[in-house]
């Protein structure tokens, strides 16, 4: 199942955990054994592949394709 994330402004440093793969770096940044994929809310790139609902949260992932910040709650 695919879930599109909400794009947010870059968080203030120290307020959230942020995964920042370099622009152009290979995605996804996290792989697991579940059935949920998290997609960039802007371009649809697969940021996280194969996790279980609720397995990760309270973090932000910068998309290495378009550079937008995605809220993982």
pLDDT at 12: 94
pLDDT at 73: 87
pLDDT tens, residue by residue, 23-35: 888 899 899 999 9
Average pLDDT over residues 8-27: 92
1, with CB counted inside 10 A (0-12, 13-18, 19+), is exposed
Model pTM above 0.85 = yes
pLDDT at 57 over 90: no
Q: In what order do the strands lie in the sheet with 46-51?
A: 2-4, 36-39, 46-51, 30-31
pLDDT at 26: 86
């Amino acid at each position: 199942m695919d879930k599109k994330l909400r794009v947010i402004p870059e968080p203030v440093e120290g307020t959230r955990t942020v995964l920042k793969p370099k622009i152009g770096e290979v995605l996804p940044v996290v792989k697991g054994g579940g059935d949920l994929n998290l997609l960039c809310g802007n371009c649809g790139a697969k940021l996280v592949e194969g996790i279980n609902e609720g397995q990760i949260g309270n973090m932000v992932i910068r998309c290495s394709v378009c550079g937008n910040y995605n809220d993982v709650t």
